Amino acid sequence: MVASASRSTRRRPAPGETGLILVFGQTGQVAQEIAGLSQDVVLLGRAVCDVAEAGAARAAILEQRPTFVVNAAAYTAVDKAETEPDLAAKINSAAPGEMAAACAELGIPLVHISTDYVFDGGGVSPFLPTDPTNPRNAYGRSKLAGEGGVRVAGGAFAILRTSWVFSAHGSNFVKTMLRLSETRSHLTVVADQIGGPTPAADIASACVTIAERLEEDPTLSGAYHFSGAPDVNWADFAREIFRQAGRNVTVEDIPSSAYPTPAERPKNSRLNCDSLSVFGLERPDWREGLSKVLHELGALK
């Protein structure tokens, strides 16, 4: 259930109890999963709070006065961002900084979801949170700028970079593969991009855990990585989807060059997630998460 009561009617959370969680984003994958974790969640979609409008995010935070904030709202149309960089910047760059400043003013933590696209995708080693950033497309640049706004606000924060998010909600690779398998028995899928598919449910749970720890210890503020294990390429990810779903689909490996897109995708999306240990978190097994999603979609073999 999603709470909508005003702050004045809410009691203060008891020790060990999660208070009001304010989530920017309503229909997105992570937002939907957070809504299932607590009865005291407010999801703010565009119809209620358009974060592209200056001042909207700040006003919402000051009105709700939550225990902590999760920014799961983003401009995620990677290719379209190449022709709409200004809109991407408003949502991905300006809004997170505004949220962070409002959270700092109230003395509450912000968990801001970011992306592996802030890196250039070079090499084969997993990227550390401290590695130099070098985004290769407009979407990545807008997300990196948003990280910068969060860092300088002066409050408690976690920038949680993740990759290849999937769930039973919204649009994602798993649902696309299932849809295509309804009419095709042979698919070509890119095999030279490697990363960690990440269940949105695990990201949601991690966001809450991290925020609660930041309440106790703001010195843990910083950038962290969270992605599923083991790392895999898109073609093998597709094969596992079809295996678990019992779909008789042949997957043919192709290079990225055979599937050109307006925005360049990183070939190396591996993320080093070791620093999550300070929150007691480990990389989730995406294959287990996939099984749960397929069950939720009614697509398990």
- Residues involved in catalysis: 139
Token reading at 211: 């925020």
Backbone angles phi, psi at 232, to 5 degrees: -155, 160
Locus of tokens 């109230």: 106
Token reading at 220: 């843990």
**Residue 66 vs residues 13, 69, 121, 190: alpha-carbon distances, Å:** 11, 7, 36, 42
User: In sequence order, what are the residues at sequence separation of 6 or more whose Cβ sits closer than 8 angstroms to the Cβ of residue 246?
Assistant: 300, 301
- The answer to whether residues 292 and 199 touch, using CB atoms and an 8 Å cutoff, is yes
User: In sequence order, what are the residues at sequence separation of 6 or more whose Cβ sits closer than 8 angstroms to the Cβ of residue 111?
Assistant: 68, 69, 70, 71, 157, 158, 160, 207, 210, 211, 214
Closest to 202 measured CA to CA, from 272, 126, 288: 288
